[in-house]
Structure 1
Amino acid sequence: KLTENNIKISMTENGDPYENAIAERINGILKYEFLLIDGFINHVQALKAIRESIDIYNQNRPHLSCQMLTPNQTHLQQVIKSKKWKKKTSKVFTSEVNN
């Protein structure tokens, strides 16, 4: 359906959402918290809803990763921000044979 409407499909290099976890998290919040998944009547309505949601996300929604400040409040601070997220890593287990 996307290609039928001349919409380019954008994915990470390997199609793995963990490659861009922060963007995937934001997309999920916009879709499900702000109900942007419900669909729109037209492009103008979609654009308006997306812009309003992004403004609320940045100006009114506190984030744990920002010490419960909004992204805008955090951006305006002059202090070093402590990172509250971590990269997904996988552990490799091996068995060692002792002689």
Structure 2
Amino acid sequence: MACRVLNVSRSGYYEWRDRPPSTREAENTVLLKHIEQIHADSRGTYGSPRVHAELMLGLGMPVNLKRVERLMREAGIQGLYRRRRHHTTVRDPAGQPSADLVNRQFTVDAPDRLWITDIERHEALLNREEVQDLLRSAVAAVG
């Protein structure tokens, strides 16, 4: 019934089913065994670049990195990767806070008198307008 639905001859189906694996498939099977062995020897830590280097230099097998990556991905083999550490600021208990140089007075009567910055934007360097003239930003907001 499947052959009729797929419009495939029965003889073609049985020929495909009983066909021996291609040369490429046989090479991939052997290569995958080597990849699994290298990955196991590294206690599961090696990823595709190191497995590829081990195949090329250690075993002398000329193979493309993309082929190694594809075989590892299809087999579900993945190396360990370092997690990024989250660094946080630790406040010095003996430190003194910075002085308030403007005494919380944010009104100005002329340009270039008071410049401000947002410390979060400054630390992360997310925005080009980290430091701005307070008067110009107030005029822009109104106008």
State which structure, 1 or 2, has the greater radius of gyration over its C-alpha atoms.
2
Greater fraction of residues in strand: 2
TM, length-normalised to structure 2: 0.23
TM, length-normalised to structure 1: 0.31
